[in-house]
Amino acid sequence: MAKILIVDHSALMRRWMCDILNADNDFHELDTSPDGEDAYNKILSKKYDLVIMDLAIPGMDGVELLARLKAEKVRVKVIGMSRTIIEDEMLAISAMQNGAYTCIAMPTKISKSDVFFEKNLREKVRLALGSHSKGTPSDKVAESVRKTQEILMGITRKENSGSNSRTVSSQQVPKQSAPKQSTPTYSRGNKGKLIALACSTGGPQALHNLIPMIPGRMNVPLVLVQHMPEGFTAALAERLDRSSQVSVKEAEDGEVLKPGYVYIAPGGRHLELSENRSGEVIVNILNTPPVNSLRPCADVMYDSIQKLHYDEIICVVLTGMGADGSRGIRDLKQFKKTYVISESQETCVVYGMPKAVEQSGLSDEVEPINKIADAIMRRLEE
């Protein structure tokens, strides 16, 4: 019988989560706590198999509690919950650094009809209680965390003291294999095509595998949403640009899409596409409220594509928690010819977003990350 501590300032939320877990077939011994200080004392005095904790609890909040437990080398598996944007790489980094097993989005209000939250909570609890071997979701996220830190913070590139040469680890961005084509021209078959990509946890690592493999002859624009907070996507775009034959940049409000360019939605902002009076497709960067606790949100991007002039949209869904993108792609298919490529489970850090697309019957092709560039180019050249 697993011993679980539920930490939330709301008595109703604590009761609801107890009801959700008690309804499971597995037997759990449940305990509750209203704040961080009380939870800390209970964790020290009792041996819990799992703690489920709202990160915004009053007093000592969830992040502070995680940091304190880590500093004192108290070993307990924790699932963090947040009503803010949690499905992004940098917040996963923060949570993992402080010892959290994973994070999930919690609803803004209690609803007995919220089947998604109930199912997600039970699934994460089962994974946390049953995953002890190497290769568990937390192991994969931890490895992704390490690689993302190297990618964004540049810790793999160091100057040799007293020398102009550089030492480079195996994680360093590869050298550009061919010069960029500054103004690729559309082929007859590609004139009406656009690539729209979505990813979340594990995304930076996946993008550093995928984007450098796209040849310079990609003569259509590629727009992408990577769940990230403000301040990190510019560095991600810069590093991808240095390693790729295509041009990569953080998208800017009002700019016109060009063929051969990859546009990354700025962290903490939605990206939408529209057409100007000349019929050119332009980027709109919005600070509107989060959608499904996400900003940027892939569904928002896909929704905006519905009324554009493109004849075909190539949707690509890579590793990530949750189901962002699946609803938007489903609706897009009603308006546009849409071809969907999803990353296979074998190479995903978290098989959430691609799984949602595939299990909904939306995927036209499922490929490991190292074969997705070829799949994109085959579709462009048809």
Identify the domain boundary among 85, 105, 132: 132
Say what the pLDDT of residue 165 is: 35
Least confident of 2-6, 113-117, 327-331, 361-365: 113-117
CATH number at residue 52: 3.40.50.2300
> Looking at residues 62-80, what average pLDDT do you find?
90
Domain range for 195 is 188-380
**Residue 164 scores a pLDDT above 50:** no
**345-360 average pLDDT score:** 92
Give the model's confidence band at 187: pLDDT under 50 very low, under 70 low, under 90 confident, else very high.
very low
Do 104 and 24 lie in a common domain?
Answer: yes
Q: Does a structural domain hold residue 352?
A: yes
Average pLDDT over residues 53-60: 87
Determine the Cα–Cα distance for residues 101 and 117; give it in Å rounded to an integer. 18
Give me the helices (H) in the chain, please: 11-22, 36-45, 62-71, 89-97, 115-130, 137-153, 203-210, 233-243, 298-305, 326-332, 353-359, 372-380
Is the pLDDT at 287 greater than 50? The verdict is yes
Q: What is the pLDDT of residue 327?
A: 97
DSSP line for 14-38: HHHHHHHHHTSSS-EEEEEESSHHH
Indicate whether 376 and 230 sit together in one domain: yes
Q: What is the pLDDT of residue 116?
A: 78
Residue 160 lies in a domain: no
User: Whose CA is closest to 368, among 343, 339, 341?
Assistant: 343
- The end-to-end CA distance of the chain, in Å, is 56
Residue 146 maps to a domain: no
Q: What is the largest CA-CA distance in the chain?
A: 70
Q: What is the mean pLDDT of residues 305-330?
A: 94
Write down the catalytic residue from 54, 82, 208, 227: 227
Residue 175 lies in a domain: no
Q: What's the mean pLDDT in 316-342?
A: 95
Where does the pLDDT of residue 256 fall: very low under 50, low under 70, confident under 90, or very high at 90 and above?
Answer: very high
Whole-angstrom distance, CA of residue 113 vs CA of residue 106: 14
Length of the chain: 382
Q: What is the pTM of this model?
A: 0.67
Cα 223 versus chain centre, distance = 15
Minimum mean pLDDT range among 33-37, 122-126, 284-288, 337-341: 122-126
Look-up: residue for tokens 């969907």? 340
Please tell me whether residues 209 and 294 are part of one structural domain: yes
The residue-averaged pLDDT of 156-185 equals 41
Most confident of 112-121, 181-190, 236-245, 362-371: 362-371
Same domain, 126 and 194: no
Active-site residue, selected from the candidate residues 200, 244, 247, 304: 200
pLDDT of residue 89: 56
**Residue 161 forms part of a structural domain:** no
226 and 349 co-located in one domain: yes
pLDDT range class, residue 62, cuts 50, 70, 90: confident
177 closest CA partner among 205, 216, 209, 217: 216
Whether residue 144 is contained in a domain is answered as no
What is the model's pLDDT at position 196?
98
Residues 85 and 196 in one domain: no
Over residues 284-311, mean pLDDT? 93
Q: Which residue has the tokens 């594990």?
A: 202
Number of DSSP helices (H) and strands (E) in the chain, helices first: 12, 16
In the prediction, which pLDDT does 175 show?
40
Together in a domain, 118 and 216? no
Number of other CB atoms surrounding residue 45 within 10 Å: 7
| Known active-site residue 200 | yes
**Domain identity same for 127 and 211:** no
Q: What's the average model confidence in pLDDT over 317-341?
A: 94
Q: Are residues 200 and 333 in the same domain?
A: yes
More confident residue, 11 or 1: 11
Q: How far apart are CA 246 and CA 261, in angstroms?
A: 6
Which CATH number goes with the domain that contains 269? 3.40.50.180
Kindly state whether residues 353 and 220 are assigned to the same domain. Answer: yes
pLDDT value at residue 138: 53
Same domain? For 314 and 235 the reply is: yes
The answer to whether residue 154 sits within a structural domain is no
Please write the tens of the pLDDT for every residue from 82-103.
765 444 555 555 666 677 887 7
Is the pLDDT reported for residue 296 higher than 90?
yes
| 24 noted as active-site residue | no
pLDDT band at residue 123 using 50, 70 and 90 as cut-offs: confident
The chain-wide mean pLDDT, for the chain, equals: 83
User: What average pLDDT does this structure show over 200-225?
Assistant: 93
Comparing 24 with 16, the larger pLDDT belongs to 16
Q: For residue 275, give the nearest of 257, 302, 300, 260 by alpha carbon.
A: 257
CA separation for the pair 19, 22 (Å, rounded): 5
> Which of the pair, 154 or 143, is modelled with greater confidence?
143
Looking at residue 376, its amino acid is I
Of 111, 132, 153, which residue constitutes the final position of a domain? 132
Examine the fold and report which residue of 116, 132, 148 is the final residue of a domain before the chain moves on.
Answer: 132
Determine contact, residues 144/202, Cβ cutoff 8 Å: yes
Out of 8, 54, 88, 324, pick the active-site residue.
324
The answer to whether residue 259 scores a pLDDT higher than 90 is: yes
Task: Please check whether residues 263 and 199 belong to one and the same domain.
Answer: yes
Residue 36 has a pLDDT of 93
Question: Which pLDDT does position 306 carry in this prediction?
Answer: 96
On the question of pLDDT at 283 being above 80, the answer is: yes
- Could you tell me which residues are beta bridge partners of residue 10? none
Does residue 65 form part of some domain?
yes
Domain count, the chain: 2
